[in-house]
Amino acid sequence: MNKRIYILVFLMLSLYWVRPVWADGCGAITFGADGIAVDSKGDIWLTHYEDARIGRLQSASSEFTEFLSFAKTSAWVTGPCGKNKTSGCACPLPIGFSGIALDEKRGFLWTTSLGSKLVRFSLTDRSFREFSLPAQIISRRGPIDMDSGGNLWVLVANSTEKGFKDGKLIKVSSDGRMKEFPLPVKEFSGWSMAMDSRGRPWLTLSSVAEGKDAGLYAFIGRKFQPQNLSRVGRSVTGMVFDSRDNLWFTASEKNVVGKYPAGSPETGSVIFYPVPTAKAFPNQILIDRKGQVWFTEWDGHKIGKLSPDGQISEYPLPPEEASPVTFALDKDGQIWFSTLFNYNLFRLDPETGGIKEYIVPPPANLFSDTASLFSTRKVMSNDVTPGINSHPPAPLRHPHGYPENPQAAIFERSCNTNCHRWHRVDKAANRTMDWIGTVDKMINLNGAKSITETDQKGIIDYLNANYTLKQETEKQDKADAPCR
């Protein structure tokens, strides 16, 4: 494996097992919700990495309520910031939330923030409280593992060049009390976790050694007991138990959904179900009330369903959407999911294959400080159902003023036809006020090295003039003047 491929694989895996790789810098890169949960009323709860806020969408009324933890939203959203050669500015405010756990019985919603903190949001008095962990959280998008007693189970570890070391499993009670348990593996590159019917966590830990399968460990009696799991490849990206304590998992390297039947420590049996789409990179996984196994396909750009008879069906995302980030089931069996590069929320109807997009608004405190703890706004929705059995390429759209505008031509030549379609710019434009951080990362992180410094300035100027939020621009320009 050459160096370029290794770097690409590392960045992709980082999207699942650790906080986003862009977290230490700032800029207007748009992600979908990191956490989605559905409560007993059918309301959808969201956490976003770009914002320090929690959102609730009432599906019946289409009202979106945000709960703000800071007076002003993160500079990650507003930019320009991040220590880069273009702006030279540093982020003055913290980034937002990742992951979610909803504990209605005790009236809490949990998420993670700032690398080593758990955040508890009260559903009754709408207050936020932080709990510091003893080391860096190895966070992931999607659900935070929680047992029936309301205890959270999270992993912390120290980062290394190859992955992580000196990891610990932390049990956190609903009042913030913690217990630490050292992991059975000294060094590892990735992980996944699920809770069985008795509230015991099961872990997979990926070895840093080439060619070695991920190991499975059951935490029983305060000890990690290794299980006989083999032939799964190096990475198990998602795990969930069904009502009979069969363990279901996704193995991205093998491109399969796997079943580890209850009692397998004695038999060592594993059943594999190949994903029809090649190199789909199956990731997150959940089970509905009918026993159907649902999973996201990061590189397949689809959501998959494994029926009890072993048949896999796939639902393509709308053509212009990128990878599915995380998802959740509501009480009617609808799938709510988010996508990369789009801040909005989607709902999939499994019966028809129809998909609706819900337009999630930017934070109310995006432009100025606000003392309001929460605000409610009506949300619009659009039918974005793709073709039933096809996933056609999105039509190529050109920017404003193309081809007469030289700056538009530079962007079209350097970016739109090489990296992604214009749709991503449309989406990101609803979330950003300055494109410095995005363009800088496009060049220095994503490898667009052919863009010269002159072209870089032209692209930034053009995007700022045509694809950015227009509210209070004069006030914001004045505030950002030292960074330009």
Query: DSSP label at 286?
Result: E
Residue 361 above 60 pLDDT?
yes
Residue-wise pLDDT for 310-352, tens only, equals 999 999 998 778 899 999 999 999 999 999 878 899 999 999 9
**368 vs 223, more confident:** 223
Do 3-383 and 406-483 fold alike per CATH?
no
Residue-wise pLDDT for 72-129, tens only, equals 554 444 444 444 444 333 344 446 788 999 999 999 999 998 678 899 999 999 999 9
Q: What b/e readout covers 136-154, taking b as 16+ CB neighbours within 10 angstroms?
A: bbbbbbbbbbbeeebbbbb
Residue 30 above 70 pLDDT?
no
The model's confidence at residue 179, banded by pLDDT at 50, 70 and 90, is: very high
Beta-bridge partners for 16: none
284: Cβ–Cβ under 8 A, 6 or more apart, which residues? 141, 142, 237, 238, 250, 295, 296, 324, 326, 327
Residue-wise pLDDT for 122-170, tens only, equals 999 999 999 999 988 887 789 999 999 999 999 999 988 888 999 999 9
Q: Determine the average pLDDT of the residues in 391-415.
A: 72
pLDDT at 116: 82
Please report, for the chain, the start and end positions of each structural domain, with discontinuous segments joined by +. 3-383, 406-483
Thinking of the domain 3-383, which architecture would CATH place it in? 7 Propeller (2.130)
The model's confidence at residue 71, banded by pLDDT at 50, 70 and 90, is: low
pLDDT at 447: 65
Q: Is the CB of residue 47 less than 8 Å from the CB of residue 98?
A: yes
The model's confidence at residue 413, banded by pLDDT at 50, 70 and 90, is: confident
Residue 391 above 80 pLDDT?
no
Q: What b/e readout covers 66-93, taking b as 16+ CB neighbours within 10 angstroms?
A: bbbbbebbbbbbbbbbbebebbebebeb
pLDDT at 272: 95
Superfamily of domain 406-483: Cytochrome c-like domain (1.10.760.10)
* C-alpha distances in Å from residue 98, one per residue of 119, 177, 325, 341, 408: 10, 21, 12, 16, 35
Which has the minimum average pLDDT: 49-58, 232-241, 310-319, 435-444? 435-444
Q: Determine the average pLDDT of the residues in 242-247.
A: 94
Nearest-angstrom CA–CA distance, 53 and 98: 11
Nearest-angstrom CA–CA distance, 25 and 285: 30
Residue 385 above 60 pLDDT?
yes
**162 vs 416, more confident:** 162
Which has the minimum average pLDDT: 172-176, 193-197, 366-370, 465-469? 366-370
Q: What DSSP assignment string belongs to 112-181?
A: EETTTEEEEEETTT--EEEEE-SS-B---SSBPPB-TTS-EEEEEEEE-SSSEEEEEEEEE-TTS-EEEE
Q: Determine the average pLDDT of the residues in 10-39.
A: 53
Mean pLDDT across the chain, nearest whole number? 80
pLDDT at 310: 95
Quick one: tokens of 480? 């950002």
Q: What pTM does this model have? A: 0.83
Ranges of beta strands (E only) in 381-432 are: 381-383
Residue that the structure tokens 């929460």 belong to: 374
- Give me the amino acid identity at 364: A
Q: Is the CB of residue 351 less than 8 Å from the CB of residue 60?
A: no
